[in-house]
Amino acid sequence: MTEQTLFPHVAETSLSGLAFAAVRGLLMHEAEEHDLTLSTNTEKMVRMSTEYGDLSFQDIKGGVKAVAMSKRADTLFILKESLVESISHFAPELVETLVWSDASLHQGHPPNFQFATVKSVRAIGGDFMRVVLHVEDVRNFVDSAIHFRIILPAVGDTLPEWPTVNEKGVTVWPKGDKALHRPVYTVRRADIAAKELEFDVFLHAGGRTTEWAKAAVKGSKIGLTGPGGGGIPKTNRIAVYADETAFPAVARLLEGLPRDSTGKIVVMADGGEACGYIFPEHPRLKPEWVKRNAGEGLAAQAIADQKDHADHMLWFASEKEDVAQVRAFCSGANIDTKQHYIATYWSR
Ligand SMILES: Cc1cc2nc3c(=O)[nH]c(=O)nc-3n(C[C@H](O)[C@H](O)[C@H](O)COP(=O)(O)OP(=O)(O)OC[C@H]3O[C@@H](n4cnc5c(N)ncnc54)[C@H](O)[C@@H]3O)c2cc1C
């Protein structure tokens, strides 16, 4: 299959003034953090494969040429956005000068952005709220990627501004008082016919989404972007370790994994099962509840369990420091990145 058939949607841009060696270092770090594959990694070129397609970076005179390649137009846009997001942390001044070769194709709101209105909000257990949104088009949310970002205006802003794509093909997000809050959540259920998208919010102190969910009423308007992130792993041997923020993702795993899957599911909450989150039934995988601060901790348990589950995929999602411990263990033990999903879901 030719490259053109595999990835019919392509866009490129120049990252002027950037040193290729620095970009390469950043990509190697990103690949390690997000379990991505570098199919080419030389002193002149790096190519990274992601869920949405490939990104390649080439050393050129005066900077770096970046090319994004994807199967679909919407996933190409997501790829480009992820690149711009990384650059905004690494070299924010460069974002202002970046021009995409397909800039003329986009105008108005970004293609992966939609408005959503609240249909219902209800408590589940003491620690979670389930939100059902009306979203015009959820076709892309029933596919392999199970995460998205909710886009919340600043508290009290009754005339919010929403993101737009500028003439260079780059999304411009409102700044200052108009800055939008964009945390990642998991699609618990998407229904194309009913135009519904459902997600579960873990209620935690000081959380802006927590405050929003508690105050939300039928008709409240927000934005969302997505889908994004990983999906249900293709395996039937898995060892899962998750805290509350990843319970909705674990629920999706229990629904989506093959019925003959074996392994274990360890879920941690302050009061264990008393948190009231209900997981779907799976014939062979039953969640084992652990209480936070009551034992060795999620990371230590995942690492200790490796001796019995080395032939299972390791799926770990929790707080940043726990994630760092598990990642360091896997890297030290040379565990193939295809054999694990290790993701930071929140940080203290
Ligand atoms: C791929 C992915 C999927 C996710 N899916 C979900 C999901 O379905 N449901 C869900 O509830 N969360 C989910 N999360 C986690 C969620 O994005 C974070 O918890 C995020 O910080 C929530 O934003 P906020 O507006 O509540 O808090 P913010 O206003 O961003 O943060 C306020 C304070 O809360 C603290 N904080 C954030 N999370 C927690 C926590 N869990 N416990 C204690 N303190 C916390 C922060 O350190 C900060 O000090 C997911 C994260 C990722 C990466």
Same-domain pairing of 224 and 243: no
Residue 131: its H or E element: strand 128-135
In which residue are the tokens 């711009």 written? 84
**Which domain CATH number covers 332?**
3.40.50.80
In which residue are the tokens 């199919």 written? 39
Q: Which domain holds residue 268?
A: 237-346
Ligand 1 pocket test, candidate residues 35, 204, 292, most atoms within 8 A of CB: 204
Which ligand 1 atom lies nearest to the CA of residue 348? 47
The whole-chain average pLDDT of the chain stands at: 93
Q: What is the pLDDT of residue 1?
A: 64
Percentage of the chain beyond pLDDT 90 is: 74
Same-domain pairing of 247 and 279: yes
Same-domain pairing of 296 and 193: no
Same-domain pairing of 180 and 158: yes
Q: Atom 6 in ligand 1: which residue has the minimum CA distance?
A: 185
**Which domain CATH number covers 37?**
3.30.310.50
Q: Which among 202, 228, 254 is the end of a domain?
A: 228
Lowest mean pLDDT among 55-64, 118-127, 224-233, 246-255: 224-233
Parallel/antiparallel/unpaired status of strands 237-243 and 221-228: unpaired
What one-character DSSP code corresponds to residue 194? Answer: T
Which ligand 1 atom lies nearest to the CA of residue 203? 11
Ligand 1 pocket test, candidate residues 346, 347, 348, most atoms within 8 A of CB: 346
Same-domain pairing of 215 and 273: no
Same-domain pairing of 118 and 192: yes
- Domains: count for the chain: 3
Residues with a CB atom less than 6 Å from ligand 1? 147, 181, 183-186, 199-202, 204, 206-210, 229, 244-245, 248, 343, 345-348
Same-domain pairing of 150 and 82: no
User: Is 224:141 a contact under the CB 8 Å cutoff?
Assistant: no
Q: Which among 75, 105, 135 is the end of a domain?
A: 105
Same-domain pairing of 219 and 136: yes
Same-domain pairing of 120 and 223: yes
Q: Which among 84, 105, 126 is the end of a domain?
A: 105
Rounded distance from Cα 144 to ligand 1 centre (Å): 22
Q: Atom 47 in ligand 1: which residue has the minimum CA distance?
A: 348
Same-domain pairing of 118 and 88: no
Same-domain pairing of 175 and 255: no
Q: Atom 23 in ligand 1: which residue has the minimum CA distance?
A: 183
pLDDT digit string (tens) for 172-222?
A: 999 999 999 999 999 999 999 999 999 999 999 999 999 999 999 999 999
Compute and round to an integer the Cα radius of gyration of the chain.
21
